[in-house]
A and B are shown apart, each in its own frame.
Chain A
Amino acid sequence: MRYLLSACIVGIGVLASTSGLTAPSDVIDGPLIRPEVSSSDPRDLSGVWYIRLYNPQINSTLGRLPPFTARGKAEWDARVKAEKDGSPMADASSYCLPHGVPRVMNSPYPIQIIQTHGETVIVHEVAHNIRHIYMDQPHPPTLAPTFMGDSVGHWDGDTLVIDTLGFNDRTWIDEIGVIHGKQMHVIERIRKIEGGHALENLVRIEDPEFFTEPWFARITYAWRPDLRIAEYVCEENNRNMPVSGHTVAR
C-alpha cells in the first residue's frame, strides 16, 4: 500500500514536469470509447495504446547503437549498406510473416492489451500479430523456435514482467539492421506512467552471439481511448514482396 501511495506521488510529479510533452500519437482525434485516462488500477493495462515518437532504429537507453559483437556489427553494416545501395535486405515482416519480439513492440501502429485469468494478450494492428503471454507459469521445458517466441509474465509490484525466449533467427530487432539469433532472451518491464496516460516498456535484450552484453531499450505508448484496432492485411497487397532476400520496390 505504501508502495502504491509513493507511486502516486511520483506520478503527480511526473505529470507536472512532462505535461507539455506530446507526440502526434498522443493526440486524441475521435470520440472516446474508453475513459479519458486508463483506470486507476496500476495493474489494469487493458485498452488501446499507441507508440510515441516511433523510431525505426532501436537505440539502447544510452542513446546509441547496442553493444554489438563483431558479428552483430557486421550484420548491421551489411544491412545499412544494402539500404544505401537501394536494395534493402528483407526481414520476416517484409514477407508478411510475424514481426517477432521485441520488433512488434516498436511498430508505428496501435496495440490492444487484453487481460484475462492466466493470460495477457496483445493484439497488434500491424499485420495482425498476436502475443500470448501466459501468467505465473514457467516456459515449457522444450520449445520449438518461433517468430514470436514463448512469453510468460508475472507482476513485480505494479510492473508487468514478460520473459520471452524460444525464438527462431528470422526476425530483426528493429527495422534498420539490429538482428538476433536463436539464443536471444528478452525481458520486458511494462508499467503505467504519467498517471495512466502512458505505458513504459523497458526492454532488456540479451544475445551473446550478437551483443557483448545485455542492453536496454525504452519504448513508451500513449493511452488512446478513441481507437479501435483496424484490420491490416499485409498479405493482400504486399508491394514490396522480397525476391532472393531483398526488398523490391514495385
Chain B
Amino acid sequence: MSGRVGLSLVCCLLALTAAAAACAQAIYNPPPGQNFEGVWLIQGDHSAVKTIDGRLPPLTREAATRYAAAIRARRAGKPDFDTIQTCKPHGFPRILFAAFPIEVLQEPTQVTFIHEVHHMPRMVYLDLTLPRLDDMDPNWMGLSAGHWDGDTLVVESQGFNDLTTLDAAGLPHSTQMRVGERIRKLDADTLEDIVTITDPKWYTKPWSTRVTYRRQPGLRLKEYACMDSNPEVRR
C-alpha cells in the first residue's frame, strides 16, 4: 500500500512540476537505424526455400526422401502434410516466407511482428533468455529472444512442434530446430532477414537463406478469416 501511495505522490509531483509536454503520451522512438516500424511485404517467391547461394538445403538422406514425397503430394494436388490446408498455423519460420504483409511494432523490450496471414503475432522479446530446449513446451511459433547488434536485430527462436514444414514445398524440421535471424534495413524501404536453420535431425549442417521485404507505405493489414474457407462455416 505504501508503495502505491508513493507512486501516486510521484505522479502528483510530476503533474505539479512537469511541463505540459511531459504530460503527452510518450511513444517509443527507436533509433533511426533500428526503426523497422511499418508494414512490409516479401519480395520474390519463397515457396521453395533455397540457401543464400541458391542451392537445395543440406538435407540428410532421409530428409531428401521426405522432401521429394512432399513435392510429389503437392503436384498430385494432395499436400496432406501442409497444415495451412486446414487453417492451422504456418508455424515459424514458414510464416516469414508467406506472401502476405507483415506489420512491425517496436517497444524498448519487445519487437512485435503481426502477420496478416492468419492474423498471427510473433513477439521477439529483448529481455528474455531462452529456456533450455528440453524444458520447453513445443508450439507452432516457438519462443523468440532478440538483441540489437548495432542496427541489426539478432533473434534466436526455438521450442517448435514438428507439425509444420519450413516452406510450402515441404522442407522438414524437427522439434530440435533452432532458428537464428539477423534482421536489418538495407535502405529506408528494404528490410533483410538472414535466416539460419540448425536442425541436426534433418540437415547435415546449419544453413542460411535470405529474404527481403519492401516497405508498403499506407498499407493496412486486412482481416484474415481462414476458417471461412470451411464449407460448414461459409454462408
Known: A15-B8, A242-B232. A5 touches B107 (CB 8 A): no
The stretch of B43-51, B165-173, B218-226 in contact with A is: B218-226
Please, which residue of chain B has its CB at the minimum distance from the CB of A140?
Answer: B220
Q: Does B97 contact A (CB under 8 A)?
A: no
Known: A40-B7, A115-B27, A123-B112. A97 touches B225 (CB 8 A): yes
B226 — which chain A residues lie within 8 A by C-beta? 235
B121 touches A128 (CB 8 A): yes
Q: Which of these, A1, A33, A36, contacts B127 with CB under 8 Å?
A: A33
Known: A228-B125, A235-B89, A235-B227. A129 touches B3 (CB 8 A): no
Most buried by A among B1, B8, B28, B125: B8
Q: Does B14 contact A (CB under 8 A)?
A: yes
B15 touches A195 (CB 8 A): no
B121 touches A123 (CB 8 A): yes
Known: A40-B11, A233-B89. A95 touches B121 (CB 8 A): no
A44 touches B26 (CB 8 A): yes
A195 touches B8 (CB 8 A): yes
| Bound form: Cα–Cα A122–B23 in Å | 23
Q: Does A196 contact B (CB under 8 A)?
A: yes
| Bound form: Cα–Cα A14–B8 in Å | 11
Q: Does A19 contact B (CB under 8 A)?
A: yes
A228 — which chain B residues lie within 8 A by C-beta? 123, 125
Please, which residue of chain A has its CB at the minimum distance from the CB of B141?
Answer: A231
A37 touches B7 (CB 8 A): yes
A8 — which chain B residues lie within 8 A by C-beta? 8, 11-12, 15
* B9-51 at interface with A (beta carbon < 8 Å): 10-12, 14-16, 20, 23-28, 37
B88 touches A235 (CB 8 A): yes
Mask, B203-235, CB within 8 Å of A = 1, is 000000000000000001101011110101100
Interface size, A (range): 35 or more
B27 touches A116 (CB 8 A): yes
A121 touches B114 (CB 8 A): yes
Q: Does B86 contact A (CB under 8 A)?
A: yes
A98 touches B223 (CB 8 A): yes
Q: Does A23 contact B (CB under 8 A)?
A: no
| Bound form: Cα–Cα A95–B234 in Å | 10
A11 — which chain B residues lie within 8 A by C-beta? 8, 11
- Binding site of B, secondary structure by majority: helix, strand, loop or mixed? mixed
| Bound form: Cα–Cα A96–B11 in Å | 43
B3 touches A36 (CB 8 A): yes
Q: Does B118 contact A (CB under 8 A)?
A: yes
Mask, B153-193, CB within 8 Å of A = 1, is 00000000000000000000000000000000000000000
Q: Does B87 contact A (CB under 8 A)?
A: yes
Q: Does B99 contact A (CB under 8 A)?
A: no
Please, which residue of chain A has its CB at the minimum distance from the CB of B84?
Answer: A235
Mask, B108-121, CB within 8 Å of A = 1, is 01101010001111
Mask, A5-16, CB within 8 Å of B = 1, is 100110110010
A33 — which chain B residues lie within 8 A by C-beta? 109, 127
Please, which residue of chain B has its CB at the minimum distance from the CB of A38?
Answer: B7
Q: Does B73 contact A (CB under 8 A)?
A: no
Please, which residue of chain A has its CB at the minimum distance from the CB of B139?
Answer: A231
Please, which residue of chain A has its CB at the minimum distance from the CB of B17?
Answer: A1
B15 — which chain A residues lie within 8 A by C-beta? 1, 4-5, 8
A218 — which chain B residues lie within 8 A by C-beta? none
A116 — which chain B residues lie within 8 A by C-beta? 27-28, 37, 105-106
Q: 27 interchain pairs (CB within 8 A)?
A: A1-B20, A4-B11, A4-B15, A11-B11, A12-B8, A37-B4, A40-B14, A44-B26, A95-B230, A97-B228, A116-B37, A116-B105, A123-B112, A128-B119, A128-B120, A130-B221, A134-B220, A146-B223, A155-B25, A197-B4, A228-B123, A231-B139, A233-B89, A233-B139, A235-B88, A236-B88, A244-B232
Report which B residues bind A (CB closer than 8 A).
1, 3-5, 7-8, 10-12, 14-16, 20, 23-28, 37, 86-89, 103, 105-107, 109-110, 112, 114, 118-121, 123, 125, 127, 139-141, 220-221, 223, 225-228, 230, 232-233
10 cross-chain pairs, A with B, having the tightest CB-CB distances, nearest first: A43-B25, A4-B15, A8-B12, A40-B11, A146-B223, A235-B87, A231-B139, A5-B15, A130-B119, A95-B233
Known contacts A197-B4, A228-B123, A235-B226, then 10 further A-B pairs from the complex at CB < 8 Å, ordered by chain A residue: A4-B15, A40-B10, A43-B25, A116-B28, A117-B27, A121-B103, A123-B121, A128-B118, A231-B139, A231-B141
